[in-house]
Amino acid sequence: MSGTSVDGVDVALIETDGEGVSSFGPSLTVAYDDEVRRLIKGVFGAEQASAGTAAAERAVTEAHAAAVRLWADRHAISLASIDVVGFHGQTISHRPERRFTWQIGDGAALARALGVRVVNDLRSADVAAGGQGAPLVPIYHAALVRRLARPLAVLNVGGVANVTWVGEDETLVAFDTGPGNAPIDDWCARRAGQRFDRNGALAAAGRVDRARLERFSEHRYFAQMPPKSLDRGDFADSWVDGLSVADGAATLTRGTARAIALAARHFPQPVKQWVVCGGGARNLTLVQAIAAETRAEVILASDLGWDGDALEAQAFAYLAVRSLRGLPLTFPGSTGAPRPMTGGRLHLP
């Protein structure tokens, strides 16, 4: 899995029949090098193939192959023992209102490189049918929380943040809440010369501009009923321009938390507990802001014994197995698809 934060590739192993999860294996995160990151960011928003998208796709595919090989070597696991690799690819454009989504990454080339079956292209069938194509992880969240008290919310904070509300009867409601780490990362890169705000230290040193935060809260996206999803570029960092570096980071961080709190208005029932995973779970200032804004208990995925850093990679392994079995990946309550939708494309080595 490589998400909208464009930080690198997460590799994880699970054993599953696509319904339950019987065991979790080791995981590994491998950062993109600067050239791969530059190639990807250079084609953000593209909707037609070009020399640039081709170069970025090759780089993404090679980075994933290298990450899987490194994971296998580091954990002494033979790739011949792996049944299937779920390959999300790298989203460069997501416009479901035009029935268009594009995750670059060559599934056939990855299968050849690894000698393992690969399932990719997991969003496009949903989008073609009129769904949002996102979020895809809710069915995996539901599998993980079966033994927990519900209703609860599982919040994944990547470049974009998304939430899964799971009801007592395993009813799912899922959607993108708004910005996640992406505007904070962009601000840090633009103003502080760093890729991200490590542990929220920059935001913790600043003051939130309350007037700007209240204007941000009036964005039309937050009132829009789910299902709904976002492209990475739909929320930028420009709304804090003019603030100091620390105050801008503080205000953007609180904005991400405010968007998450506003999402709760769309839950069928209130929740008392939010489970936070994804890169944002490492940002203590953001986690504290989420607790303050939601006025609910916020726990980290790691508190439940989950590997929060590997959760999305695990989810795409899970979705790959569901794809092989012809089980639905998305549902009307998660993406707005007209019916439960299967998806994915299988590539043989």
Are 327 and 344 within 8 A, CB to CB? no
pLDDT tens-digit map of 88-123: 999 999 999 999 999 999 999 999 999 999 999 999
Report pLDDT for 62: 98
Confidence tier at 235 by pLDDT (50, 70, 90): very high
| Residue 4 pLDDT > 90 | no
The mean pLDDT of the chain is 96
Residue 153: which of 172, 140, 136, 135 has the closest Cα?
172
Neighbour tally for 98: CB within 10 Å = 9
Residue 256 has pLDDT above 90, yes or no: yes
How many contiguous H segments (helices) and E segments (strands) does the chain have?
Answer: 13, 12
Q: DSSP secondary-structure letter at 225? A: P
DSSP notation for 203-215: HHTS---HHHHHH
User: What 8-state DSSP symbol labels residue 229?
Assistant: -
pLDDT one-digit tens code per residue, 148-176: 999 999 999 999 999 999 999 889 999 99
Question: Quick one: what percent of the chain has pLDDT higher than 90?
Answer: 93
**What is residue 47's predicted lDDT score, i.e. its pLDDT?**
95
Distance CA 114, CA 77 (A): 13
| Alpha-carbon dihedral 330, 18, 13, 142, rounded to 10 degrees | 60
SS (H, E, C) 125-167: HHHHCCCCCCCCCHHHHHHHCCCCCCCEEEEEECCEEEEEEEC
Answer whether 179's CB lies under 8 Å from 235's CB: yes
Question: Residues with Cβ < 8 Å from 110, sequence gap 6 or more?
Answer: 61, 64, 65, 85, 87, 118, 120, 347
Q: Are strands 297-300 and 273-277 parallel, antiparallel or unpaired?
A: parallel
Instruction: Give the pLDDT of residue 68.
Output: 98
Tokens read off for 63: 């980075």
> What pTM was computed for the model?
0.85
At position 106, the amino acid (one-letter code) is: D
For residue range 292-343, list pLDDT tens digits in order.
999 999 999 999 999 988 999 999 999 999 999 999 999 999 999 999 999 9
Percent of the chain with pLDDT over 70: 100
- Residue 103 has phi, psi (to 5 degrees) of -110, 110
* DSSP of 172-199: EEEEEEEE-SHHHHHHIIIIISSSS-GG
User: Among residues 129, 135, 108, 133, which one has the least CA distance to residue 119?
Assistant: 108
> Could you tell me which residue, 119 or 233, shows the higher pLDDT?
119
All domains of the chain in start order, with CATH: 8-125+338-347 (3.30.420.40), 138-304 (3.30.420.40)
pLDDT of residue 324: 98
Query: Which class for 302: exposed (0-12), middle (13-18), buried (19 or more C-beta within 10 A)?
Result: middle
Strand partners, 161: 157, 178
